[in-house]
Amino acid sequence: MTRDAADEQHDAVTCTGLTYTFGETKAVAGLDLSVGEGEVFGLLGPNGAGKTTAIRCITTLLPVPAGMVHVFGHDTAGDRMAVRRLLGYVPQQLSADAGLTGRENVALFARVFDVPRRERAARVEQALTAVDLTEAAGRLASTYSGGMVRRLELAQALVSAPRLLILDEPTIGLDPIARTGVWEHINAVRAATGMTVLVTTHYMDEADQYCDRVGLMHGGRIRALGTPIQLREGLGERRRAEGGPADAPLPTLEDVFREVAGSGLDDQSGGFRDVRSTRRTANRVG
Amino acid sequence: MSEAPAAPRTVSADRLDPDGINLLLSPPEPRAGWRLLPARVVAMCAVELQKLSHDRTELYTRAVQPALWLLIFGQTFTRIKAIPTPGIPYIDYLAPGIIAQSAMFIAIFYGIQIIWERDAGILNKLLVTPTPRSALITGKAFAAGVKSLIQAVVVIVIAAILGVSLTWNPLKLLGVGAVVILGSAFFSCLSMTIAGIVLSRDRLMGFGQAITMPLFFGSNALYPVSVMPGWLQVVSKVNPLSYEVDALRGLLLGTPAHLALDFGVLAVAAALGIAAASSLLGRLAR
Ligand SMILES: Nc1ncnc2c1ncn2[C@@H]1O[C@H](COP(=O)(O)OP(=O)(O)O)[C@@H](O)[C@H]1O
Ligand SMILES: [Mg+2]
């Protein structure tokens, strides 16, 4: 494959042997991944699997050696500005600025993505409309509920018309109604714009319902890759081949995960740090 | 899928009106290289002004201390004539020192804001925009400058009410604004540099408290350099606050000053501060 061919179709994201260590902790340990243009790809795994670290490598937040991560063909090690112009990023923590109104929060991102002044107000309004926040846009973000903050962050990410939307645990700490609301807005925007979505979550049911393809991550590596239905049917077949009952119900994605992660899933995942950051997010959501 | 979603569907999210989001389909043109830095500075300053417009309590509470300095220290020492200030009452001499001091306090604690923004995920998100680190730091430095400038205006008004005879020459006042912004750009970068070294809010708080008083007392803000012991004169010589105060005195009171030297030192200090803080920003984001 020639990466240099000018008109070649690049994958939205490719990671080849991505590795990242924090001191002693190998947070990502040889991650191979490619996300095709236009798909909704779910990176799944328990707390501590390395999802956030992988995302932070892809978004240029963490430095990685050349050749490990490409976004639409641009190497994140060399071509940071080009990569960032293609990205919309919603981090794991609720990250809207509580001291600004919803509209000001979105306008800031229009500014730092160089939206010209004559277009800025209209673009900001469209982003707010896309997430149903026009009415609350004049209020301080500190008055928003968790679900509203997530939608506001989605608007912040959308205002620059990214080709790749990266969402890190967009529904963590939200109640079921807010979770559905966030996903419906993601889907509607994706249907209207055709953008690629890379999302992480540890809720398997969400991934099953909303993702075109998923990668199950554990211990810093992808352990299984495919469409949710492929993975579930695959496990069903393996179980029947091992002599399981022929009429057993289709296994869930959670079952698939338990199989590939093997034992140790419960005691290995979620160290102190993960629990703390999850709690912090949950607290901010209120 | 057999299991029905439990949550009710929000109507408007199901389908987005394609005309309603037409602007969100095309990414904005990147700005030409040389226009990027001023654009980011404007963006950061706009955010600071918006925040101040929503919550002015800090502006009022921060006015108390300089008012007390001028009212008590200034009036008492004017009466007892303990500090030799040739040709002008002591309170006049003191006013520019207090303007510089209150601007410095705001700037020094600006680093705490950047750690708070790091903890809240705001900084991470800004780092995934087409904003080089140096441009982000420059923007923050000037935003601190704008905040300090507003504080300076408050202190100037207080001084005028207390009978200090200040210039109202618009050109000189413009110079005052430039001096305050440059000085605060340096001190905010000093604190953002320390933030990049100590990484935690509590430790930075301690550092801030430990350095503000030495910077203040080791300058010409309260007394002329000529009455200082030799070692303190040396401290004052390398302390950018002294140059800021010298320039403010020259501009506001018309006392003899070394304006070219003062501006030169402040500009170089600000540039060095921006370079230092930018190089450590990566540590903060990791
Ligand atoms: N900044 C950091 N410093 C040290 N260790 C970290 C840091 N961030 C994450 N880790 C560790 O790296 C591993 C992967 O974490 P993370 O990528 O956050 O996982 P996930 O997002 O899947 O929950 C965990 O063991 C976590 O404790
Ligand atoms: Mg995570």
Q: Which amino acid is at A137?
A: A
Hey, whose CA ends up nearest to atom 4 of ligand 1? Answer: A22
Contact: A85, B27; criterion CB under 8 Å: yes
Rounded Cα gap, residues A30 and A70, in angstroms: 15
When comparing pLDDT for B22 and B14, which is higher? B22
Give the closest-approach CA distance of B260 to chain A in angstroms: 34
Residue to substitute from B16, B114, B116, interface A, most A β-carbons within 10 A? B16
**pLDDT on residue A173:** 87
Query: Can you tell me which atom of ligand 1 is nearest the CA of A217?
Result: 22
pLDDT reported for residue B11: 43
Task: Give the separation between CA A224 and CA A237, rounded to whole angstroms.
Answer: 15
CA A28 – CA A51 distance, rounded (Å)? 8
Say if ligand 1 is within 6 A of residue A22 CB: yes
Phi/psi region, residue A164 (left: phi>0; alpha: psi -120 to 50; beta: rest), is: beta
Report the pLDDT value the prediction gives residue A182, as an integer from 0 to 100: 93
Q: Residue B98's pLDDT is what?
A: 96
- Mutation target to probe the B interface, by most B beta carbons within 10 A, among A111, A195, A198, A253 is A111
Q: Do B46 and A108 touch (CB under 8 A)?
A: yes
CA distance A132 to A59: 27
Q: How far apart are the first and last CA of chain B?
A: 41
Residue A62: half-sphere exposure toward Cβ, Cα within 13 Å: 19
Q: Assign A196 to helix, strand or coil.
A: strand
Ligand nearest to the CA of A45: 1
Structure tokens belonging to residue B260: 């070219």
Query: What is the structure's pLDDT at B48?
Result: 94
Mean pLDDT across B37-64:
94
Cβ of B193: how many Cβ atoms within 10 Å?
A: 22
Q: In angstroms, what CA-CA distances link B113 with A97, B44, B63, B229? A: 12, 13, 19, 36
The answer to whether A208 and A253 have CB atoms below 8 angstroms apart is: yes
Q: What ranges in B199-255 are assigned the alpha helix state H? A: 201-217, 230-237, 240-253
Q: What are A49-95's pLDDT values in tens digits?
A: 999 999 999 999 999 999 999 999 999 998 899 999 999 999 999 89
| Matching CATH number, A39-64+85-285, of 3.40.50.300, 1.10.3720.10, 3.40.630.10, 3.10.20.70 | 3.40.50.300
Of A112, A161, A180, the CB nearest to B131: A112
From the CB of A37, is ligand 1 less than 6 Å away?
A: no
A244 CB within 6 A, ligand 1? no
Bin A67: left if φ > 0, else alpha if -120 < ψ < 50, else beta. left
Contacts 24+ apart (CB under 8 A), A50-54: A50/A20, A50/A217, A50/A219, A50/A220, A50/A221, A51/A168, A51/A169, A51/A200, A51/A202, A51/A217, A52/A92, A52/A168, A52/A169, A52/A200, A53/A20, A53/A22, A53/A27, A53/A28, A53/A220, A54/A15, A54/A18, A54/A20, A54/A28, A54/A217
Q: Please write the tens of the pLDDT for every residue from A147-190.
A: 999 999 999 999 999 999 999 999 998 999 999 999 999 999 99
Cα separation, A42 vs A56, whole angstroms: 15
Q: Which residues of A touch B5 (CB under 8 A)?
A: 180, 209
DSSP state of A115: -
Which residue carries 């995960």 as its tokens?
Answer: A257
pLDDT tens digit string along A87-141?
999 999 989 999 999 999 999 999 999 999 999 999 999 999 999 999 999 999 9
Please answer yes or no on whether B27 and A161 come within 8 Å at the CB atom: yes
Q: How far lies B275's CA from each of B135, B142, B242, in Å? A: 10, 14, 22
**Cβ contact B245:B224 at 8 Å:** no
Q: Chain B contact for A74, CB < 8 A?
A: no
For the Cβ of A25 lying below 6 angstroms from any atom of ligand 1, the answer is yes
CB hemisphere CA count around B67 (13 angstroms): 12
Q: How far apart are CA B194 and CA B276, in angstroms?
A: 10
- The verdict on a CB contact (< 8 Å) between A181 and B13 is yes
Pairwise CA distance, residues A206 & A187, whole Å? 12
Distance CA A191, CA A212 (A): 13
For residues B111 and B5, what is the distance between their CA atoms, to the nearest angstrom? 46
Helix, strand or coil for residue A61? coil
- Name residue, tokens 């000189």: B172
Q: Are A199 and A43 in contact (CB under 8 A)?
A: yes
Q: What is the mean pLDDT of chain B?
A: 90
- Give A200-238 pLDDT, tens digit per residue: 998 899 999 999 999 999 999 999 999 999 999 999 998
Of A78-87, B13-22, B84-93, B187-196, the poorest mean pLDDT is in B13-22
Q: How far is B175 from chain A (nearest CA, A)?
A: 29
User: Residue whose CA is closest, atom 11 of ligand 1?
Assistant: A27
CA distance B12 to A131: 9
Which of A19, A33, A52, A204 is the pocket-test mutation for ligand 1 (most atoms within 8 Å of CB)? A52
Residues B90, B88: Cα–Cα separation, whole Å:
6
- Inter-chain touch B282–A63, beta carbons under 8 Å: yes
Query: A39 near A194, Cβ under 8 Å?
Result: no
Give me the mean pLDDT over the B44-52 stretch: 95
Q: ipTM for the complex? A: 0.89
Asked if A123's CB is within 8 angstroms of B121's CB, the reply is no
Q: Where are the domains of chain B?
A: 56-284
Residue whose CA lies nearest to ligand 1 atom number 3: A22
For the CA of A271, the nearest ligand:
1
Q: Which of A90, A274, A276 to mutate to test the pocket of ligand 1 (most atoms within 8 A of CB)?
A: A274
Domain map of chain A by residue range? 39-64+85-285
The answer to whether A132 contacts B12, with C-beta atoms less than 8 Å apart, is yes
Ligand 1 neighbourhood includes A93 CB (under 6 angstroms)? no
